[in-house]
Structure formats: C-alpha cells, structure tokens
Amino acid sequence: MARRVFLHIGLPKTGTSYLQTILWAHRDELREAGLLVPGRERRDHLWASLVVRADPKVARRHPRAPDSWSVLRSEATDWADDVVISHEFFCSASAEQARRAVRELEPAEVHVVVTAREPLGLFTSSWQESLKNRGTTPIEEYGRSESSDPLDVWDWRALDLALVLERWAPAVPADRVHVVVAPGPGDPPDELWRRFCAVLGTDPEVVGPVTGFPNASMGVAEAETLRRLNQHFTGPGADLPGSFERAYDRGVWIRTFLADERLVPRGGERFWPGEDQQQDCRRRGDRAVELVRSAGFDVVGDLDRLAVPAELPPRRHPSSVTDAEVADVAVALAARLMVDLKDGARPGRTQGTPAAADAGGPGAASTWWRRLRAAARSRR
C-alpha cells in the first residue's frame, strides 16, 4: 500500500493545469524518484473526480470513465511509496463524498492539497473560463449563489476556499491539510511547482527546468465578443443547432481554437466585476484567511496574499463594451478564420495548451478540416 497519498483537489484556476501538465509529462522521472502519478491517462483523474462526486452521466464520457477511481486506488495499493492524484473538480465534493474518498484511499496516510489565490482574480478568471465552455451569463449575473450540488464547479461552491475547506478538512487531521498559495507577479516562473513539491516532499529538480504557462486571459472586448458568439452555439436562441454539444467539441473548438489561440493573443484591456461583487470577493478572502490561520493548516506561501488587496487599479466593467468594439473584434476574428481555413489550421497547432490535452487531442478536428477543405475545393 502507498505510504502517503496526496489528493490535490483544486481550486480551479489556480495553476492546476500547469501542475498537472508537469506531473504527466514527467511521470517516469517522478516514479523513479518515488512519486507515483497513477492512471492509464490524464483524463483518469478528471473522470475519478466525477465518480467521487457521483455524476450519473460519467459513463457518457468514455467507456473507461466509470472505473477510473478504482484504477487509481488499485495502483496506489500496489505502490509502496508516495502517490499524487490531481484534479481541480474534486473540490466540489460534498463533505460525505470527501470523507468517503479519503476512507477509500486508506490505510495510506492521506493528505489534502489545495492550491489557492485571492478571490477577485479567481472570480474574473472563472467567468472567463465559463465563456470558454459556452457560457453566456453576463459577469454581473455570475457568482450570485452558492450551489449545493457537488456537480457544480463554476460556482462559489468550488471557488470559495473557506467553503471547500469546511467540507474537505474534517476528513483528515489538520496537519495533513496543505494550502499552497499561488505565486505573485514578482515570483520566479516555476515557483508554484516548487511550492507544490515542498508539500509532496519531492525534489523539484527531478523533472528538469520548468516554466509557467502564459496568462491565458482575454481582454474585456474579446470576452464580451465570445459571450455573444456563444449565444449562437447554445440555448433557445442558438442558430447553429447541434453544434459543439460534446465536451470534446467545446474543449477543442471553442476553448482552445477560438478563445485560447485566436482571442487571447489579441491582448486587450483587463477588467473587474462591479463594486458589489468586488466586496463579496473581499469578504470571502478575509474569511478564508481567518479560517486557515485559526485551523492551523500547513501553508506554503504568504497567507495574506489570499486576501483581496485593499486598493485596486481602475479597470473597465464588461458591460461597458460597445457594439462597435465587439464589431471590431468580430471582423478581425472573421478575417483570421478565413486565413486559418485556407491554411488548414487546427486546434493545438498555433500554440499547445493544457486545454487541448484535457479535451483529448486534435485528431477528430484535423479530420473535420480535411473534409471542409475538400468541400471548398470541389466548389472551385
């Protein structure tokens, strides 16, 4: 049986894809160093989070998805050293699901690892991520509730550090709860990996030099353009029925190809939500800092960085974006897509992203492009 199992549960948008990419790219080196990353493929950890949270639709993901949690546990049982399991959607589990997951990993010594950042930046990143997943909710309507459903992950249920710790921390002793604070702008690019390794007890140099991923954020006009585009892909007003229904299609075409590879590189102005939402983020951050401090959890990094700064630079609100600004972005995007069509571009070719890896790869996408270009040639 494994000596220790480190269950990295999130939070979403705290560098989890960065850490997971390193773990999976360097499984062999980490294994030789005594740290097992179990699973048949990277998606096993995502699927396992669905099993733990009792998602009734898990079998629709893939024929192997329903037994993913059992596979991870079995490999941990056969391993004599340390194990790390990582996916940010574990954090949305209920308290009972958290306790059950820990029990099913015992008698190994189970540790709960949470990566965290201040809630205002997390909130704006989460809203952008919702847009990359076909969301159409304006930012002023986003994050107005706390769901009771473990399957909800783009909600304060999964984004509020205090709420997550209140469900997960009772499952293990306090000294086995580790809060890893996301580095700030002045920190080295590999600082998050080094902090994560400090919890795992692993030499960060085992995998060789690593760097951080570029900040995949859209500008305010680009975000609003994507939000409006999504209205054509989903919901009662959709005029492209049947498009992007599968998680693979959404991940490859909307998140990777359109958002990360076409809209993010444009840059653009950064933005904040409204004043009332800023204050809500501030309250949640202060509460989380106090909870972590009083509970005596292990903290790696500066705990005070989990609070929203007292003073914020002025930024626009997404509702201020004009139709003319959206039109400018949309016209430039249409021109770019015409060039892409001519050149046979496909998701993942412009720049590799963790999102593309999670979506399962661009093989089906390239087939789509070949058919489309063949149809275009037949009309000449």
Residue 356 reports pLDDT greater than 60: no
Render pLDDT for 288-343 as a digit per residue (tens, 0 to 9). Answer: 999 999 999 999 999 999 999 999 999 999 999 999 999 999 999 999 999 888 88
The answer to whether the peptide bond before residue 107 is cis (omega within 30 degrees of 0) is yes
181, 327: one domain: no
Give me the mean pLDDT over the 253-258 stretch.
87
The answer to whether the peptide bond before residue 36 is cis (omega within 30 degrees of 0) is no
Q: Where among 169, 184, 207 does a domain terminate?
A: 207
Under the banding of pLDDT at 50, 70 and 90, the label for residue 254 is confident
Render pLDDT for 114-167 as a digit per residue (tens, 0 to 9). Answer: 999 999 999 999 999 999 988 999 999 999 989 999 999 989 999 999 999 999
230, 89: one domain: no
Residue 24 and residue 42: Cα distance in Å, rounded? 7
Give me the mean pLDDT over the 198-216 stretch.
87
341, 242: one domain: yes
- The residue range of the domain holding 161 is 4-207
Render pLDDT for 38-56 as a digit per residue (tens, 0 to 9). Answer: 999 999 999 999 999 999 9
169, 261: one domain: no
Please report, rounded to a whole number, the percentage of residues in the chain having pLDDT higher than 90. Answer: 77
245, 109: one domain: no
Q: Is residue 165 in a domain?
A: yes
**How many domains in the chain?**
2
Render pLDDT for 174-187 as a digit per residue (tens, 0 to 9). Answer: 999 999 999 988 89
pLDDT at res. 133? 87
183, 67: one domain: yes
Q: Is residue 122 in a domain?
A: yes
322, 175: one domain: no
CATH number at residue 176: 3.40.50.300
Residue 358 reports pLDDT greater than 60: no
Residues 6+ apart with CB under 8 A from 16: 8, 10, 86, 87, 88, 115
Q: Is residue 280 in a domain?
A: no
199, 250: one domain: no
Please, are residues 7 and 109 in contact by the beta-carbon 8 Å criterion? Answer: no
167, 235: one domain: no
Q: Which residue has the higher pLDDT, 353 or 210?
A: 210
pLDDT at res. 247? 56
185, 227: one domain: no
Pairing of strands 177-181, 298-300: parallel
Q: Is residue 288 in a domain?
A: no
197, 256: one domain: no
Please, are residues 116 and 8 in contact by the beta-carbon 8 Å criterion? Answer: no
Please, are residues 273 and 140 in contact by the beta-carbon 8 Å criterion? Answer: yes
188, 331: one domain: no
Residue 368 reports pLDDT greater than 70: no
Q: Is residue 92 in a domain?
A: yes
Q: Is residue 257 in a domain?
A: yes
Q: Is residue 275 in a domain?
A: no
Q: Is residue 284 in a domain?
A: no
Burial of 357 (0-12, 13-18, 19+ CB in 10 A): buried
pLDDT at res. 359? 40
Q: Where among 172, 207, 242 does a domain terminate?
A: 207
pLDDT at res. 88? 98
Q: Where among 154, 180, 207 does a domain terminate?
A: 207
Closest to 37 (Cα-Cα) out of 2, 66, 11, 89: 2
